[in-house]
Amino acid sequence: MGKKTIFIGSDHGGFELKSKLTKLLSHNGYTVVDKGAHSYDKDDDYPDYVEGVCKGVLKTKGKGILICKSGQGVNIVANKIPGIYASLCWDKRSANDARAHEACNVLCIGGFLLKPKVATDVVATWMKASPSKAQRHIRRRGKIKAIERRYARR
């Protein structure tokens, strides 16, 4: 999997938006690995799709996108996985800062909260941003990793 690979997943709350984003990303030259849901099921559960996306991100040191109704559920689950730095983003500024300041590797968005145009702007901004090399951001990311090591189960 190359640098232009992106892992994506959603439950029913993000299914429609995931389909649109998958087409957009593919059209822009990304290899999109869809970790589900592969069909709409109003009774599915967002935790079932988070792990597949996060495993792909960790294995490739890549990026992932997770979508549920609010984005909050997938964000909470993703951040339980050591090495995943997920951020819930709602506009271009939050997306840029999540990637630049925190080196976020999983973008979480709300399928019912963001209109498709806003969601595509958020994804495009996040995909273009790079982790900041400013010492204050490097220092803060180091502190985040230290906390993760203290609390991660071994």
4, 34 contact by CB (below 8 A): no
> Is 108 an active-site residue?
no
> Is 104 an active-site residue?
no
The catalytic position among 12, 54, 68, 104 is: 68
59, 84 contact by CB (below 8 A): no
Q: Which residue has the tokens 């906390």?
A: 147
Sequence-separated (6 or more) residues with CB below 8 Å from residue 107:
63, 64, 65, 66, 86, 87, 89, 95, 98, 122, 123, 126
The catalytic position among 12, 27, 89, 101 is: 101
Which active-site residues does the annotation give? 68, 101
